[in-house]
A and B are shown apart, each in its own frame.
Chain A
């Protein structure tokens, strides 16, 4: 027998653990949740980061990216000569409209050239299916895998694209992944929509021919020599490409795919610190109350052990072992669960982030840190109680603990006393006598409610944001962009199409805005001053009339540039004649995505010193004629792209729904564990401290229900205090998270549905009620005689 092999004291450890197994399990569960979240998040971060790093290296992901209008190929030589540049890959790109057989919605494609030999120097392809392009063929393309998968396209299928105004039939020969498109989202889009936007790789010669770019390029990517200064290279590159319409180069930090994934990892890192900290703090608190109580009831045993000659250290180690067993159970099981969840989470990420492989990485240091941190938290929670027990002189320990001192509480002295029955007085006095325990219980339960609110809030906020964005702001059905600025005449032409009920022009130009040393690159959107479709909103979500003079800025952009309405900024246009002007900030716009500046269409035309030109149209269309309109628009040579609004949202929500549901479920479970652990342990401690008086009351003729009221009433009060506090904390926490997560791309408004608050409160109350019921069952089986036979 294992038990026989242990010495007597270790057997006592095991028996004590067994006697309080309910509490041990509750604490181990809380600790396990913290460790599991920690291991899951960190192993996923390590896996994604290391896989990404390896992928970037193996497939030579570029470090600097520069779009431009058109430059002769020889410019590539000059780029190569910039100090710090290592490898250069020029290419031809085009954003085009695609037709996929059997799919009637508009689809856009990003065409990217690869050298005719099929081997780009940078941003190489991982061919997942099919074959490489055949040199000499002009109708072959390779598709990005997420698009091929969403559209169910295989090598051999054909699609067509309108390239430079001419419809061209293309044959899919392969499906590939690229480090440049780990995350694939249409430029300027808010949400990914895999079946509506794809990457297509095509040979340089055929694409160059189709795009009138023979011997020229409109996009260049490069890598840096070791030790090169990225900013310096970017400045030189900008200067070099300026005459060719270079629209300012950027590093990986502004590359969408890289940026999205980095942002995701940053959030995951936040999760990896915040959630485990909460759980371990709760576990430390639970251990504290449980071990303190255990030591209290074992006072005389401790005295006896010491009287027999056990040293202080031996007694201390005895109780530490008890704590460490719980820590070891919690962290080992937690690590196993964490690894499993990490693998699952990695898989989940692969549905949005495409890698040719995902190496699951579990750094031993992650496990070591998890163990050390949980042990540290456990010791922090218990060391004081253990120290106190150990240093108590045996003669003092031998005597029972001095009687508890009770006083009338403040509420009673305020004159409320006569309304309180004796059981109620017992409750309030107990709370007053153990304020720390009461406080920590409140904090623990509040933490559970806060976590629930935090877990739900991003979903609520995104719902709200989408609703504002698509119901109040962007109410167009279709967005048409032209290949080049067109005359206003285009509006009338398109409005004439059958089924187009209304149309609005827009003029969009890239700019760099400057206020002193602060600069920001964005686009100025020229819109009709009283738009009906594409509206801009103030902070009350009311449409704003664009003033004839000056410019409106997204609030976030105004913050970035440190300007207020009335201030002036310099706008440096990065297109056409590249004029530079001083413009007044006329007002601020509330937007949750992107950073833009707004003017009237006329205002932009004046700024550009151009005639009445427009970049595209927003259209309202009768749904019955939608297909017809789409078809006729796509046939037009100067239409670069048509985007349909509505289903983008639906498809996004569909793809994220499962993720969000899983996430909500896990959060609810975790918070439930905390609420359960806290309330259950609190109740068990109270039961153990008060079983004697409760038994006395039973003897006096109190019913089970009546004594339950005394014990559970205390917990009910604490829970009812804690839940509202937790909801407020959750709301504040959400605001903090929103603040921390705000980026140029995305700012989450702090919107929490009433149903979220209700659900959070309900989940915590249910968890508390369950633990209350378990304790109630023990209360029903209270052995009256046994309890009363002995002096405590």
Chain B
């Protein structure tokens, strides 16, 4: 599994909605997730079929409880599937051992959560460094912070940063290892719109400049305009996939 290099040139889209000249990064087939709660079984995912392509930015939309987070967690190797398969560059994630999943997260995936999840005892730079120390070919922490526009705050502890700044540190931390995919679960969920736009802008820049395949979960339909493709989930299944003709820059959004 090779790291993908940055290439931020223009893209064309094939008729089926898939970017035509790109390799497929994830191949999801019949993905099922059942939470066994003893007396009841919760079917979070009921046979999801989906392909995600190199360097694209995808937004996942869907009602609360539709299975967005579950899907994202399985893609990121945080959770295991009940049935079906997920291939990452041809390698079957659903059969991986715990150790392999850890390696996968370590070298290929970047995560961003609604609640930043920074390490309170480390400064911004150190929060990034904690990842670069264990990655194969990382940026320096300062480079990563520069990408999200926080070069001047690198010596601050999380408690000394605003929510938006913390989220940008989280983005810097996620991209510093030059991951192949960036998975974001409601990254702006806890932020006001202005700050949210700054965060989305950071994600957009990363996607364009580094070519990182990016999946963003949001409840905000307006935000989906920054995506190349928008995937609608409903009751644990893919309802529709919409291709945006014009990908908007986050600065152009209004909500």
- Using a CB–CB cutoff of 8 Å, the interface residues on chain A facing chain B are 403-407, 421-423, 425-426, 429-430, 433, 692-693, 695-704, 706, 784-785, 788-792
| B104 partner residues in chain A, CB cutoff 8 A | 701
Q: Judging by beta carbons under 8 Å apart, are A433 and B121 in contact?
A: yes
Judge if B102 is at the interface, Cβ distance under 8 Å. Answer: yes
Given A700-B105, A701-B106, A702-B134: A422 in contact with B129 (beta carbons within 8 A): yes
Given A406-B157, A701-B103, A785-B79: A426 in contact with B134 (beta carbons within 8 A): no
- Using a CB–CB cutoff of 8 Å, the interface residues on chain B facing chain A are 69, 73, 76, 78-79, 99, 102-107, 109, 111, 113, 115, 117-122, 126-127, 129-131, 133-134, 157-159, 173, 190
Q: Judging by beta carbons under 8 Å apart, are B120 and A697 in contact?
A: no
Given A406-B157, A406-B159: A426 in contact with B106 (beta carbons within 8 A): no
Q: Which chain B residue lies CB-closest to A407?
A: B157
CA distance A698 to B130 in the complex (A): 12
| B157 partner residues in chain A, CB cutoff 8 A | 405-407
| A791 partner residues in chain B, CB cutoff 8 A | 115, 190
Q: What's the nearest-Cβ distance from chain B to residue A114, in Å?
A: 81
| B127 partner residues in chain A, CB cutoff 8 A | 422
Q: Which of A404, A405, A700, A788 contacts B130 (CB 8 A)?
A: A700
CA distance A429 to B122 in the complex (A): 8
CA distance A423 to B127 in the complex (A): 10
CA distance A403 to B159 in the complex (A): 6
Q: What's the nearest-Cβ distance from chain B to residue A690, in Å?
A: 9
Q: What's the nearest-Cβ distance from chain A to residue B146, in Å?
A: 19
Q: Judging by beta carbons under 8 Å apart, are B111 and A699 in contact?
A: yes
CA distance A788 to B113 in the complex (A): 8
CA distance A699 to B134 in the complex (A): 13
| B102 partner residues in chain A, CB cutoff 8 A | 698, 701-704
Q: Judging by beta carbons under 8 Å apart, are B105 and A426 in contact?
A: no
| B129 partner residues in chain A, CB cutoff 8 A | 422
| B103 partner residues in chain A, CB cutoff 8 A | 701
Interchain residue pairs with CB less than 8 A apart (9): A404-B159, A405-B159, A422-B130, A693-B120, A698-B105, A700-B130, A701-B106, A701-B107, A703-B102
CA distance A789 to B73 in the complex (A): 11
Q: Which chain A residue lies CB-closest to B99?
A: A703
Q: What's the nearest-Cβ distance from chain B to residue A296, in Å?
A: 14
Q: Which chain A residue lies CB-closest to B119?
A: A693
| B118 partner residues in chain A, CB cutoff 8 A | 696
| B79 partner residues in chain A, CB cutoff 8 A | 785
Q: Which chain B residue lies CB-closest to A784?
A: B78
CA distance A738 to B25 in the complex (A): 75
Further pairs besides A422-B119, A693-B120, A703-B99: 5, Cβ < 8 Å: A699-B78, A701-B104, A784-B78, A788-B113, A792-B115
| B190 partner residues in chain A, CB cutoff 8 A | 791
| A700 partner residues in chain B, CB cutoff 8 A | 105-106, 111, 130-131, 173
Interface of A is mostly: helix
Q: Judging by beta carbons under 8 Å apart, are A696 and B117 in contact?
A: yes
Q: Which A-B residue pairs are the 6 nearest by beta carbons? A: A701-B106, A422-B130, A403-B159, A701-B105, A696-B117, A429-B121
CA distance A407 to B111 in the complex (A): 26
Q: Judging by beta carbons under 8 Å apart, are B106 and A702 in contact?
A: yes
Q: Judging by beta carbons under 8 Å apart, are A785 and B78 in contact?
A: yes
Q: Judging by beta carbons under 8 Å apart, are B115 and A788 in contact?
A: yes
Q: Judging by beta carbons under 8 Å apart, are A421 and B121 in contact?
A: no
Given A404-B159, A696-B117: A423 in contact with B130 (beta carbons within 8 A): yes
- The listed residue with most B CB atoms (<10 A of its CB), out of A403, A421, A699, A702, is A699
Q: What's the nearest-Cβ distance from chain B to residue A300, in Å?
A: 15
Q: What's the nearest-Cβ distance from chain B to residue A403, in Å?
A: 4
| A789 partner residues in chain B, CB cutoff 8 A | 69
CA distance A238 to B111 in the complex (A): 96
Q: Judging by beta carbons under 8 Å apart, are B130 and A697 in contact?
A: yes
Q: Judging by beta carbons under 8 Å apart, are A403 and B120 in contact?
A: yes
Q: What's the nearest-Cβ distance from chain B to residue A779, in Å?
A: 13
| B99 partner residues in chain A, CB cutoff 8 A | 703
Q: Judging by beta carbons under 8 Å apart, are B122 and A788 in contact?
A: no
Q: Which chain B residue lies CB-closest to A405?
A: B159
CA distance A129 to B143 in the complex (A): 96
Q: What's the nearest-Cβ distance from chain B to residue A784, in Å?
A: 5
Q: Judging by beta carbons under 8 Å apart, are B120 and A696 in contact?
A: no
CA distance A698 to B104 in the complex (A): 11
Q: What's the nearest-Cβ distance from chain A to residue B159, in Å?
A: 4
Q: Judging by beta carbons under 8 Å apart, are B119 and A696 in contact?
A: yes
Given A421-B133, A700-B111: A406 in contact with B105 (beta carbons within 8 A): no
Given A699-B78, A701-B107: A790 in contact with B159 (beta carbons within 8 A): no
Q: What's the nearest-Cβ distance from chain B to residue A754, in Å?
A: 39
CA distance A425 to B121 in the complex (A): 8
Q: Which chain B residue lies CB-closest to A701?
A: B106
- The listed residue with most A CB atoms (<10 A of its CB), out of B76, B102, B129, B190, is B102
Q: Which chain A residue lies CB-closest to B72?
A: A785
Q: What's the nearest-Cβ distance from chain B to residue A437, in Å?
A: 14
Q: Judging by beta carbons under 8 Å apart, are A693 and B117 in contact?
A: yes
| B117 partner residues in chain A, CB cutoff 8 A | 692-693, 695-696, 699, 788
Q: Judging by beta carbons under 8 Å apart, are B159 and A425 in contact?
A: no
Q: Which chain B residue lies CB-closest to A422?
A: B130
| B105 partner residues in chain A, CB cutoff 8 A | 698-701
CA distance A788 to B118 in the complex (A): 11
CA distance A704 to B99 in the complex (A): 9
Q: Judging by beta carbons under 8 Å apart, are A404 and B120 in contact?
A: yes
Given A406-B159, A699-B105, A784-B78: A790 in contact with B134 (beta carbons within 8 A): no
| B120 partner residues in chain A, CB cutoff 8 A | 403-404, 406, 693
CA distance A699 to B173 in the complex (A): 12
CA distance A785 to B157 in the complex (A): 24
Q: What's the nearest-Cβ distance from chain A to residue B126, in Å?
A: 5
Q: Which chain A residue lies CB-closest to B106?
A: A701
Q: Which chain A residue lies CB-closest to B183?
A: A699
Q: Judging by beta carbons under 8 Å apart, are A426 and B73 in contact?
A: no
Q: Judging by beta carbons under 8 Å apart, are A403 and B158 in contact?
A: yes
Q: What's the nearest-Cβ distance from chain B to residue A299, in Å?
A: 17
Q: What's the nearest-Cβ distance from chain B to residue A641, in Å?
A: 76
Q: What's the nearest-Cβ distance from chain B to residue A249, in Å?
A: 75
Q: What's the nearest-Cβ distance from chain A to residue B183, in Å?
A: 10
Q: Judging by beta carbons under 8 Å apart, are B133 and A406 in contact?
A: no
Q: What's the nearest-Cβ distance from chain A to residue B200, in Å?
A: 20
CA distance A405 to B129 in the complex (A): 20
- The listed residue with most A CB atoms (<10 A of its CB), out of B73, B129, B130, is B130
Q: What's the nearest-Cβ distance from chain A to residue B127, in Å?
A: 8
CA distance A703 to B134 in the complex (A): 10
Q: Which of B69, B78, B133 contacts A422 (CB 8 A)?
A: B133
- The listed residue with most A CB atoms (<10 A of its CB), out of B99, B106, B158, B190, is B106
| A433 partner residues in chain B, CB cutoff 8 A | 121
Q: Which chain A residue lies CB-closest to B108?
A: A701
Q: Judging by beta carbons under 8 Å apart, are B107 and A422 in contact?
A: no
Q: Judging by beta carbons under 8 Å apart, are B131 and A406 in contact?
A: no
Q: What's the nearest-Cβ distance from chain A to residue B70, in Å?
A: 9
CA distance A704 to B103 in the complex (A): 11
| A693 partner residues in chain B, CB cutoff 8 A | 117, 119-121
Q: Which chain A residue lies CB-closest to B159?
A: A403
| B134 partner residues in chain A, CB cutoff 8 A | 701-702, 706
Q: What's the nearest-Cβ distance from chain A to residue B34, in Å?
A: 15
- The listed residue with most B CB atoms (<10 A of its CB), out of A698, A701, A706, A784, is A701
